[in-house]
Amino acid sequence: MIPLRNIGNTDIQITPIAMGCWPISGVTSVDVTEQASLATLKAAFESGINFFDTAYCYGYEGESERLIAQALGDRRDRIV
């Protein structure tokens, strides 16, 4: 299991490694399908990663956030 670290002086704990979510949005030179993106998000979480880096500009109209919600929405209380 990946060790967790607190964010500053809070009780929120995250993995020291985040999954960068820009490539999953499909707007890079990487040819990635929605199915592969969802599988990657689930695999990252199942591997112990709970810290996902995203931004509204990662895809059109919040595409990376939509994919994260679709893949991990039922676990939202355990991800940052």
Give pTM, 2 decimals: 0.88
The tens digit of pLDDT for each residue in 45-70 reads 999 999 999 987 887 788 889 999 99
The tens digit of pLDDT for each residue in 9-51 reads 999 999 999 999 988 877 776 788 899 999 999 999 999 999 9
Q: Are 17 and 52 contacting, i.e. CB atoms less than 8 angstroms apart?
A: no
Q: Is the pLDDT of residue 1 over 80?
A: no
Active-site annotation holds for 60: no
DSSP 76: G
Q: Is the pLDDT of residue 6 over 90?
A: yes
Please pick, among 45, 51, 52, 58, the residue that the annotation labels catalytic.
58
71 C-beta neighbours (distance < 10 Å), count: 21
- Can you give the pLDDT at residue 68? 95
- Can you give the pLDDT at residue 61? 82
